[in-house]
Amino acid sequence: MVLAVKAEGVKIGYIDEEDRVQWAVRGVDLEIGSGDSFCIVGESGSGKTTLANAIAGILPPHAIIQGRLIIDGKLVLDNGRLDFNGVRGRIVSYIPQNPGTSLNPFMTVEEHFYYILRDTKSLSRREARRIALESLMKVGLDQSVLEMYPHELSGGMQQRVTIAIAIASRPKIIIADEPTSSVDANLRAGILKLLNRLNRELGLTLIMVTHDIYSAAAVCNKVAVMLVGKIVEMGEVKALLYDPRHPYTRILLNCVPVLGVKKPLKPLVGEPPRLYSDIKHCPFLDRCPFAVETCKVEPLLEPVDEKRDHVVRCWRFKELKSVEL
């Protein structure tokens, strides 16, 4: 099987005002098979968006990058050398977080499609219009939207238009950055269903970034939990939902409110460590209820059982399995 994305020790940092490098992603190895739906879950500041932007090829030029990233068989990132030509927008496409501010208010929906398709596929206006209509149909919108300006669309329609734009250039990989974070439940269910359908019917590789592990579970079959720039747990969705091993994943699952089930929420106490500090200890040390002396050394990502597809970064995952939070 061809891997859609393969990351080897990817580190991404930004330089702050005091000339320190703030590492947002501190060494990520992952493999995403083509046709998979993969989700990156994490709190804000965990580096999940930076990692997704790296895969989409839209990191800012001042980012400091190390490691190797291979997308669809092409080495796009090799220790600071970037080459996203032919990949960005053609193989990988991106659904932005906030559709309202990502669409150009001066352009109609049809023009959005035209300029993108002209640049990526050098299509004529008429051909672009045909493909625009096709993609809009796929997301459940009709012809009338083509002549509208973004402000004439509702939030849900805007989100659908951005999804349609993302699939118009026929990419193999789609990255959705918090596609449902600011919409209500009605819309959220609709958008997640749509993403699910695109993944299955068009065979797209879907990479979703979110902080809500349950919406992740509704769409994706594999989940990686990120914390302070590193993956702390990764595996099949059901493994993470029903048998979470890392204390952070367990707390994360516990603090999502579920309608109709009034369980007491157990919030996470404390703040994540600041990123410029050189972190040698377990990234969850300060906030973990089970931290011991050994946790001052950072654990490695270890497989939970012989099947090796569920991995966790915790020293005590075996003994903690039966311990209540």
Residue selected from 58, 107, 202, 218 as contacting another protein according to rule CB under 8 A: 218
Rounded Cα–Cα distance for residues 251 and 21 (Å): 30
Rounded Cα–Cα distance for residues 241 and 261 (Å): 16
Pairing assessment for the beta strands 222-227 and 37-42 based on DSSP bridges: parallel
Residue selected from 62, 201, 265, 293 as contacting another protein according to rule CB under 8 A: 265
Residue 111: enclosing H or E segment and its boundaries? helix 109-121
Rounded Cα–Cα distance for residues 252 and 212 (Å): 9
Q: For residues 82 and 218, which CB has a smaller minimum distance to another protein in the complex? A: 218
> Least distance in Å: CB of 145 to another protein?
18
Residue selected from 91, 213, 226, 312 as contacting another protein according to rule CB under 8 A: 213
Q: For residues 82 and 290, which CB has a smaller minimum distance to another protein in the complex? A: 290
Name residues contacting another protein, limited to 119-178 (CB under 8 A): 154-155
Q: For residues 93 and 215, which CB has a smaller minimum distance to another protein in the complex? A: 215
Q: For residues 24 and 128, which CB has a smaller minimum distance to another protein in the complex? A: 24
Rounded Cα–Cα distance for residues 266 and 252 (Å): 9
Does position 185 bind another protein by CB under 8 A? yes
Residue type, 208: M
- DSSP assignment, residue 83? -
Does position 8 bind another protein by CB under 8 A? no
Question: Nearest Cα to 90, choosing from 150, 35, 172, 28?
Answer: 172
Residue pair 42/211 in contact by the 8 Å Cβ criterion: yes
> Least distance in Å: CB of 244 to another protein?
13
Residue pair 227/248 in contact by the 8 Å Cβ criterion: yes
User: Cα 263 to chain center, whole Å?
Assistant: 28
Does position 192 bind another protein by CB under 8 A? yes
Name residues contacting another protein, limited to 224-253 (CB under 8 A): 236-238, 241-242, 251-252
Q: Which stretch binds another protein (CB under 8 A): 2-10, 28-36, 262-270, 288-296?
A: 262-270
Name residues contacting another protein, limited to 273-302 (CB under 8 A): none
Question: Nearest Cα to 51, choosing from 283, 230, 216, 199?
Answer: 230
Would you tell me which residues interact with another protein (CB under 8 A)?
43-45, 154-155, 182-190, 192-193, 196, 211-215, 217-219, 221, 236-238, 241-242, 251-252, 254-260, 262, 265-269, 271-272
